[in-house]
A and B are shown apart, each in its own frame.
Chain A
Amino acid sequence: EAEVAQSPRYKITEKSQAVAFWCDPISGHATLYWYRQILGQGPELLVQFQDESVVDDSQLPKDRFSAERLKGVDSTLKIQPAELGDSAMYLCASSLVRGKTSTDTQYFGPGTRLTVL
């Protein structure tokens, strides 16, 4: 069964350092999402890509976060500089198409657990 791949699974960094997370969506999935999940909360959308284009980054803290999906396949999310409040699980999800009247199912990867010291 095809899965969304993420790496690393765990990352510990000191505040003010730069960190990067990688995601490889399910093959053929045009839409890719990055979510952040704080312990005890539901995931919150950071950015959505359709192929290589950003279609929603309204909740991405752009002063320190950046995301790219250069060839419309895998994606990288970067934080620079990391702050203590960035400690969370970073989840990547993908879906087959971007729905107009309904939304296609999003499949999640295992996540990257970030701890900022």
Chain B
Amino acid sequence: EDQVTQSPEALRLQEGESSSLNCSYTVSGLRGLFWYRQDPGKGPEFLFTLYSAGEEKEKERLKATLTKKESFLHITAPKPEDSATYLCAHPRGGADGLTFGKGTHLIIQP
């Protein structure tokens, strides 16, 4: 069964304190690993798509990496505005609808 597990469930950091969020997945024939950011009461906002092990993508203070079993979202020198829930997902086997993890709720304190 396709599964996506994110850890930690919640993370509180001081402004400027770098860290990483983990997303582990079990699916054969990965057709993309997606990262989204979601603010309270809003729809998920697309961040990155990774397709193959070893791939990396960056956007401002965020960098996403992919291995054969995990993806990491590295956040460098975060700011309070980076506070949000970060979701990872991959396409369901044989279809395009995404299977999401429960997310990591990130809080950056000034």
Contacts and interface: CB of A to CB of B under 8 A. Distances in A.
Interface residues of A, number: 30
B98 A45 contact: yes
Interface stretch (A64-72, A79-87, A103-111): A103-111
A99 B31 contact: yes
Interface stretch (B11-19, B53-61, B67-75, B89-97): B89-97
B103 interface: yes
Contact size range, B: 20 to 34
Most chain A CB atoms below 10 A, which of B34, B43, B99, B102: B43
Contact of B42 (A55, A56, A110): A110
A95 interface: yes
Contact of B95 (A41, A44, A56): A56
Contact of A108 (B32, B41, B45, B96): B45
A98 interface: yes
Nearest to B105: A40
Contacts of A114: none
Interface of A: 4, 31, 33, 35, 40-45, 48, 55-56, 91, 93, 95, 98-99, 101-111, 113
